[in-house]
Structure 1
Amino acid sequence: METSEGVDVISAEVIVGSKSGLHARPAAMVVALAGTLDPPVTLRKPDGLAVNARSIVKVLSQNFCYGDLVVVEATGDGAEDSVREMAELVARELEEDDAIVDAIEASD
């Protein structure tokens, strides 16, 4: 994970770790975590438009696949923590039973 700080924008580049990409359950876990983060985060491909990670429709529309590079971004107070937490989740294999339980517990 590479973190860069710009004009109040914190970003990290991370590789999608789920073998199924960010589809179905993994996308739902991303959205669940995003709903707990303040400030909110966006996700995008390096050459794409940023989408709100709190929207399952927008996350699914990006077609993030296994091995894709994803840019996680946030601005404002707490942005570094929000970006770090989301980047760590996106990098994990989210189809394993233990990962699902961990992600659900983390969002509580």
Structure 2
Amino acid sequence: MMAERRVTVQTEAGLHARPAALFVQAATKAPMDVSVGRPDADPVNAKSILLVIGLDVRHGEEIVISAEGDGADAALDELVATVTANGA
């Protein structure tokens, strides 16, 4: 079953620069495929820094993160934390 999270990006830089790098690092640690995208568009591979930055997600915009397989919920929780942490 596909696990999914809709989250509003809180990081000041959106999904660019350091927040994007942290997000991709967390996605890469997940043992399953992870995708991210805007609610109204096709998702991209969350393990690709170029694709994630290419989404051009800004502060305050909503994204959908999804993963499938064992540990998907834990992986998504970690990914949500990377874009909602104010310290990033």
TM beyond 0.5? yes
Q: Which aligned runs of 4 or more in structure 1 are off by greater than 2 angstroms? A: none
Deviation at 1:37, TM superposition (A): 1.2
DSSP 3-state at the match of 2:29: coil
What's the Cα RMSD here? 1.2
Calculate percent identity across the aligned residue pairs.
35
Deviation at 1:40, TM superposition (A): 3.1
Higher radius of gyration, 1 or 2: 1
The amino acid that maps onto 1:82 is A
Deviation at 1:81, TM superposition (A): 1.0
Gaps of 5+ in 2: none
**1 or 2 for the larger relative contact order (CA 8 Å, sep ≥6)?**
2
Counterpart Cα distance in 2 of 1:21 and 1:39: 24
Structure 2 residue aligned with 1:106: none
1:74 partnered with 2:63 = no
Counterpart Cα distance in 1 of 2:63 and 2:84: 9
1:27 corresponds, among 1, 20, 26, to 20
Gaps of 5+ in 1: 1-7, 100-108
